[in-house]
Amino acid sequence: MYSKKSARPIVNRRTLLSTALWCAGVGALRWSRQSVADDTVVSGSPGTEEEPSGSSDGTADASRITYDSPQTNTWRIGMVLDPPVTCTDVFATFPVPTNWPEQKVTVVSQTIDPLVAGWEVRELASGVKQVACRMPRVPAGTRAEISFTMQIERSRMLAPERTDDLVIPLRPDRELRAYFGNSPNIDATNSIIRAASRELAAMEAENDWQRVEQIYDYVREKVEYVEGDLKNASVALRDGKGDCEEMTSLFVALCRNAKVPSRMVWIPGHCYPEFYLEDGEGNGHWFPCQAAGTRQFGQMDEYRPVLQKGDRFKVPEKRTPVRYVAEFFKCERKGKSNPNPEFIRQVVP
């Protein structure tokens, strides 16, 4: 049996969105050959709200944040299968970007090979979407492709002018409660994290914005940026070393201990955290910050597209929650060679 997994599917020297490759039988699924017009999530009509995005979250009021100097890039996202051996019962998934207040995604074209017998779009937690496809048989030496060309407009996020009225939500709703507690590699209840949280809580702060900023500065002071194997937030704090993933995870863990909803944001080759506060009228706002790199608190000078937001996802192909929704592939093969699917995420000139 051909099998290949990646324990760490993201950022920097690692391959972003590494693939889980399993050659095995595909369970019974209900599928139909869909066209873009038939699919209520993926749309080929430029400018609609129905593309592989659709707005996500909905809890944040964008009025407190300024979105500045938008830039648009064209991306091609999908999968190409050109196997050296015949593959049957092919099943694959790949995530697609979605709309966010700082980002708009428009599908401009699609390529669906006739060998693709059926495909659909699945929506997971936090607005994350996957394309899932099935191919009954792909002969050796045959090229099969399913891909979407998207225009992604991304804006810089400027820090709010007023912050003294922003407060930690007293009664977070069900959606916000998803951004508390533990997530994979975010061990918010670990004793090391709890001890650091008590230390931070003892510090004086003029307001809740400053309290979150103290957490931000604490992470950047205590953890030196060093690339290495993925580890829990508590281990990064104990060792004093970590990269953007560990520093982001630690910020999220400490925020959650302070009752501040927080989550990870994933972009190509990098990640950063967001935290949630409410204004005096009870409107909620998600604010970004740069845990690793140039100091940016409450703002984000970034044009790379948002791939996902969140850090605890339930994926049908996985038994336990994952911190990131990666690509997935499995099949039966008629030979010993690897199928070698190629998942695509590339800027189109």
pLDDT band per the 50, 70, 90 thresholds, residue 335: confident
The terminus-to-terminus CA distance of the chain in angstroms comes to 39
Identity of the residue numbered 327: E
| Cβ neighbour number for residue 96 with a 10 Å cutoff | 24
Q: Using one digit for the tens of pLDDT, what is the confidence trace for 228-264?
A: 999 999 999 999 999 999 999 999 999 999 999 999 9
The pair of structure tokens assigned to 26 is 């595909």
Q: 17-20 — which CB contacts under 8 Å span 24+ positions?
A: 17/94, 17/95, 17/307, 17/324, 17/326, 17/327, 17/343, 17/345, 18/326, 18/327, 19/326, 19/327, 19/328, 19/329, 19/341, 19/343, 20/317, 20/326, 20/327, 20/328, 20/329
The pair of structure tokens assigned to 164 is 């003294």
pTM: 0.84
Nearest to 233 by CA among 255, 211, 201, 265: 255
State the Cα–Cα distance between residues 316 and 297, nearest whole angstrom.
35
| Cβ neighbour number for residue 157 with a 10 Å cutoff | 23
pLDDT band per the 50, 70, 90 thresholds, residue 126: confident
* Rounded to 5°, angle at Cα 37 from 52 and 118: 75
Q: Using one digit for the tens of pLDDT, what is the confidence trace for 153-195?
A: 999 999 999 999 999 999 999 999 999 999 999 999 999 999 9
Task: Identify whether the C-beta of residue 108 lies closer than 8 Å to the C-beta of residue 74.
Answer: yes
Does the pLDDT at position 4 exceed 90? Answer: no
Domains within the chain, CATH numbers bracketed: 3-157+313-348 (no CATH), 160-298 (3.10.620.30)
The pair of structure tokens assigned to 272 is 């950063």
String of DSSP letters for 101-130: TTEEEEEEEEEE-TT--EEEEEE-GGG-EE
Question: Which residue(s) pair with 100 in the sheet?
Answer: 103
Q: Using one digit for the tens of pLDDT, what is the confidence trace for 45-71?
A: 323 233 344 444 434 444 689 999 999
Question: Which residue(s) pair with 105 in the sheet?
Answer: 152
Residue with tokens 């912050």: 163
Q: Is 258 left (phi over 0), alpha (psi -120 to 50) or beta?
A: alpha
